[in-house]
Structure 1
Amino acid sequence: MFAMMEASRQEALHFAQDPATGLKAVIAIHSTRLGPALGGCRYLAYPDEQSAIHDAMRLAQSMSYKAALAGLEQGGGKAVIMRPAHVANRGALFEAFGRFIETLGGRYITAVDSGTSSADMDCIAQHTRHVTSTSRGGDPSPHTAMGVFAGIRASAMARLGSNDLEGLRVAIQGLGHVGYALAEQLHAVGAELLVSDLDAGRVQLAVEQLGAKAVPCADLLATPCDILAPCGLGGILNAETVGQLHCAVVAGAANTQLADLAVADSLQNRGILYAPDYVINSGGLIYVALQHRGESLTTITAHLTKISERLTEIYAHAQAEKRSPARVADSLAERLLYGR
């Protein structure tokens, strides 16, 4: 366990269980160098405890890098709750999790993530103030989508020579809160949408409201397009799937899209521009971090412009150094975090 922590430079791992509610939770704190660790809470069914721990650690590291490159005074952390097969009282489980967070004394601030909602955050907030994304705070998804949209325009400029998205074929994998909001923004500027999602109802809605073309989930990655926007769960880009791609740009909202950094090199070798996920999808983090600090919506929206500016900087370095944007982004984040 300590070897795993050292390899990714994790500061701490915290575990809690509450037999009365069924809570089994892990909080990974990657870094508090720039400020309190902030990161969402996942509530998912994991095959085993090790998978849950690994998920928390890799996402906590990503959150540290994301906060650093977004220019936020925040560290990176992540919580995962192993969803039990049967839950007698979901509210009580999240209240127990709130008590767990409070014991950390403000070193970790939680937020919504896969499997959790603002209602869950409201339960947590009954026992700690170190929580955001509550019903009162609002949904960060629209701000994530705004940032991804701006990042797609910056990526199109870098790879295709123009940030005009009209007529471009954009394949969106995943039509959740962020993916659908992104689809709406792309539709508004005249992009041609190809969409897939496990929820057939979401796909049908996009077809009817946005004129999108439905593509089976198994076929989307191999479908020719200008821009691929992964907006579901992570890990979709690996040694096998990269060879299937027929696009110029990969730029989407999903976390940890790459199986490993070698995949980023493969994309680079194929001439496919990759927008580092933790840079392009940082709009939600910007929103929850600044909203938690009491900043105005005007200030938050202005801060979102840093996403496209940072991506443009990363692409310039990548071109000059002939390296993948993913490796450049890691180097820039590590310089901010560790001074190297």
Structure 2
Amino acid sequence: MFDKPAFAGHESVHHFFDRKTGLRAIIAIHSTALGPAAGGCRMWNYATSDDAFVDALRLSEGMSYKNAMADLPLGGGKAVIWGNSKTDKTPELFRALGRAIATLNGRYWSAEDVGVSVHDMAHAAGETKYVAGLPSGKAASGDPSPVTARGVFLGIKTAALRAFGTDDLNGRHVAVQGVGHVGAYVCGHLAKAGAKLTITDVNQEALDTVSRETGASVVAPNEIYDVAADIFSPNALGAIINPETLPRLRAKVIAGGANNQLSTPDLGEKVKERGILYAPDYVINGGGIINVAAEISGVYDPAWVDGKVTRLVATLGEVLDQAQREGKATNRVADAIARQRIGR
């Protein structure tokens, strides 16, 4: 475990198994330097347990950076459940997850993520108070995806301003990978702004809905990288910018809500060499955790959330501008700022 590059100095990693419900979960806590670790719970049918483990580590580290860049009093953590989100979910499984979270005594706060809904997490909340993003209850704010999507949309405009000299998206062609929780809302914002959309997803029902509502064209998942778009917006899973896909991209901007978009940090330099402007994922997609942080505080204030999202978008602009001035990859600049904030 300790020799994996993804370990990255994690404070602790916890494995949970519940025979009765079939729960197989990992909770990774990267840092509590700024406060209790916080990050969503993902359910995915990983090929191997090692894949689940590495994903938990990468996502947890990303949450440390995300919370630091959003200037939140939270550290970074993440939960992953190894299972099929379409066939393996039960209320009992999520209650078992809640009991697992409770054993950490407040060192980790959870919420929904890929493959998990706010209603799933409500079952977990029946066993522990350390769950946010809930549909009901004190300070409940519901699904944080719309807030994430709003931040992503504003971040796309911020990147567009630097890449094209204007943040006007009318007529801009955007290739959107993933139209689930966040991606569908992002598409809605883009369509309203007049952008031309090409979309893909493994969920045909979601594709049909978004295409019908926005007029988007649809391509097969592996074809999205070849679309002659101005902007590529990844909003699904991570590691999609890699040595195989990067040469195929024809966009001038990469900006989306997916976590861990670069397969390895050195891809940032390769993206820059291609003349592509990359909006670091954990900066542009921090709106959701801001929403969750407001709920964790016990007093949900929409005005505070809006102000934090606005400030986060300004931070993204500052990162892009500093990278341009210093001739560095944008992810390297963001990483350095985040690490300084968490004392690493």
If the length of structure 1 is used for normalisation, what is the TM-score?
0.96
Q: Hey, what does 1:143 align to over in structure 2? A: 147
Q: Indicate whether 1:47 and 2:44 are aligned.
A: no
- Give me the whole-angstrom Cα distance separating, in 2, the residues matched to 1:301 and 1:118: 21
Deviation at 1:3, TM superposition (A): 2.9
- Give me the whole-angstrom Cα distance separating, in 2, the residues matched to 1:46 and 1:185: 32
Q: Hey, what does 1:110 align to over in structure 2? A: 110
Q: Hey, what does 1:221 align to over in structure 2? A: 225
Q: One-letter code of the match for 1:126?
A: G
Q: Hey, what does 1:311 align to over in structure 2? A: 316
- Give me the whole-angstrom Cα distance separating, in 1, the residues matched to 2:265 and 2:99: 37
Q: One-letter code of the match for 2:313?
A: S
- How many residues get paired? 339
Cα pair distance change 1:224/1:123, threshold 3 Å? same
Pick one of 320, 329, 340 that aligns with 1:324.
Answer: 329
Q: One-letter code of the match for 1:38?
A: A
Q: Hey, what does 2:120 align to over in structure 1? A: 120
Q: Indicate whether 1:190 and 2:164 are aligned.
A: no
- Give me the whole-angstrom Cα distance separating, in 2, the residues matched to 1:204 and 1:336: 43
Pick one of 225, 230, 234 that aligns with 1:230.
Answer: 234
Q: Hey, what does 1:25 align to over in structure 2? A: 25
Check the 8 A contact 2:40/2:79 in 1, yes or no: yes
Unmatched 5+ stretches in structure 1: none
Cα pair distance change 1:199/1:6, threshold 3 Å? closer
Alignment of 1:75-224 (within 5 A): 75-83=75-83, 90-136=90-136, 137=140, 138-224=142-228
Check the 8 A contact 2:200/2:219 in 1, yes or no: yes
Q: Hey, what does 1:245 align to over in structure 2? A: 249
- Give me the whole-angstrom Cα distance separating, in 2, the residues matched to 1:96 and 1:214: 39
Q: Hey, what does 2:11 align to over in structure 1? A: 11
- Give me the whole-angstrom Cα distance separating, in 2, the residues matched to 1:201 and 1:40: 24
Cα pair distance change 1:196/1:29, threshold 3 Å? same
Q: One-letter code of the match for 2:179?
A: L
Deviation at 1:88, TM superposition (A): 7.9
Deviation at 1:215, TM superposition (A): 2.2
Deviation at 1:328, TM superposition (A): 0.6
Check the 8 A contact 2:85/2:115 in 1, yes or no: no
Deviation at 1:87, TM superposition (A): 7.2
Deviation at 1:203, TM superposition (A): 2.4
Deviation at 1:232, TM superposition (A): 1.0
State the SS of the aligned residue for 2:190: helix
Structure 1, residues 49-74: CA drift from partner, whole Å, max 9, x if none? 22111111110000000000011000
Pick one of 322, 337, 341 that aligns with 1:336.
Answer: 341
Deviation at 1:6, TM superposition (A): 8.7
Structure 1, residues 79-113: CA drift from partner, whole Å, max 9, x if none? 11112799787111111111111111100001101
Q: Hey, what does 1:302 align to over in structure 2? A: 307
Q: Hey, what does 2:274 align to over in structure 1? A: 270
- Give me the whole-angstrom Cα distance separating, in 1, the residues matched to 2:86 and 2:333: 44
CA RMSD of aligned residues (A): 1.7
Check the 8 A contact 1:5/1:11 in 2, yes or no: no
Deviation at 1:205, TM superposition (A): 2.5
Deviation at 1:204, TM superposition (A): 2.6
State the SS of the aligned residue for 2:272: helix
Q: One-letter code of the match for 1:300?
A: V
Check the 8 A contact 2:149/2:182 in 1, yes or no: yes
Q: Indicate whether 1:284 and 2:284 are aligned.
A: no
- Give me the whole-angstrom Cα distance separating, in 2, the residues matched to 1:48 and 1:216: 26
Q: Hey, what does 1:67 align to over in structure 2? A: 67
Structure 1, residues 240-272: CA drift from partner, whole Å, max 9, x if none? 211001111000111111111121111100110
Pick one of 244, 249, 259 that aligns with 2:263.
Answer: 259
Q: One-letter code of the match for 1:274?
A: Y
- Give me the whole-angstrom Cα distance separating, in 2, the residues matched to 1:50 and 1:18: 19
- Give me the whole-angstrom Cα distance separating, in 2, the residues matched to 1:148 and 1:229: 9
Cα pair distance change 1:193/1:88, threshold 3 Å? closer
Unmatched 5+ stretches in structure 2: none
Q: One-letter code of the match for 2:314?
A: E
Check the 8 A contact 2:6/2:54 in 1, yes or no: no
- Give me the whole-angstrom Cα distance separating, in 2, the residues matched to 1:245 and 1:103: 45
Deviation at 1:7, TM superposition (A): 4.8
Q: One-letter code of the match for 1:47?
A: A
Deviation at 1:199, TM superposition (A): 2.2
